[in-house]
Amino acid sequence: MQPQIKPNNGIYFSLHYNEQKIDEGKAERIGAENFLKDHDQLTEEEILDRFRQRSSFNERLHDYGVHFSLNFGKEEKLDNKRLVEVANRYMTGMGFEDQPYVVYRHLDAGHTHVHIVATTVRADGRLKKLEPKDYHASHRLCRELEREFSLEKNLKATAEDQLRFAVDHAQKITYGEQGLTHAISDVLNTVVDHYNYTSLDEFNAILKQYNVTANPGLEDSRLRKLGGLLYHALDENGNRIGKPIKASAFLLKPTIKKLEKKFAENLRNREAPRERLHTAIEWAVAGETPDWARFKENLEREGIDVVTAKRADGEERVFFVDHVGKYAFGGESLGAGYDLAALRKRLAPEQQLEEQQSQEHQINLHL
């Protein structure tokens, strides 16, 4: 049995991901703990209300949660009752027995696997943090459950399947190595409903990490007027490569109209992740003044990517993609001192920075 843990501060996205799988016939809800109704009597709205009721105990922790997955061996044939027993034992072992959580069985893989969505806000309003030691404890717990329930031991094949079917399963695209539509679809499934972004710029900053970009067309183009969106693969230099694919070709239909709704929804509750970035950036520039490369390395250790981008008018901008909290921010949206020009002044001398940046990949935002 192979576990995976994904903390987040957007529990709605984890919940909606699993509920959408049910609508597509690719999953079923098989358990729910610490709710007033049985799992099969709950609606998605009632589940979200319960999670947010916990979040209301601490306004700073709105929508904080965690997304677990448990992947079983290919030969395991477990019914739903047994899966719920294993899931409940796992959640108890992880110290989540008193937290509201929902269990889903996914049907879209060659092996049995369950996803568990839980709030990390305790009844007293404190955050139940997951430390590095908890990840090690999770693997030890799975070994115990394998013995307790006579399950297959963790196999390499299970880990490989996990990489393929986990929520964050997308891989960075290398053009020509995989079917392009399927590869970009994997990226969109990973990003669209699981990251928080408030503009096409921020959305593209996330996609760039997977060698993908979304192009709305030139200002007066038919594509722009119709609200269309084309998705392109990028080469290692950030240049578009291959044929573009229309948003309508993907299951999620991530058109500009749909994304604009998400931009508006995502404007809420960004204060805590903004503060995390402030702290991380200040730490990254502390002490001996780093150059641009060292600055990026410092943030990467915190799970934050620094992305530079060039607009159609030639203006350069910087974005921060937080893969832990799953947020993207433009530097200027973080306040004075965090845009590209201000960071240049705070880091190494201008000439050295320009040499560093000339080696960086650029993406066109077409705004």
Q: Find the helix or strand (DSSP H, E) in which 113 lies.
A: strand 113-119
pLDDT at residue 55, rounded to an integer:
87
Q: Name the stretches of the chain with pLDDT < 50.
A: 155-169, 350-362, 366-367
71 CB-contact burial (10 Å; exposed 0-12 / middle 13-18 / buried 19+)? buried
> What does the alpha-carbon distance between residue 138 and residue 5 come to, in Å, rounded to a whole number?
9
Domain range annotation of the chain: 2-165, 171-367
Fold of 2-165: BirA Bifunctional Protein; domain 2 (3.30.930)
Distances (CA, A) of 98 to 72, 93, 115, 128, 183: 25, 11, 18, 11, 39
The pLDDT of residue 350 is 45
- 348's tokens: 């190494």
What is the pTM assigned to this prediction?
Answer: 0.53
Query: What distance in Å separates the CA atoms of residue 298 and residue 278, rounded to the nearest whole number?
Result: 13
Assigned token pair, 146: 């394998």
The pLDDT tens digits for 97-121 are 999 999 999 998 778 899 999 999 9
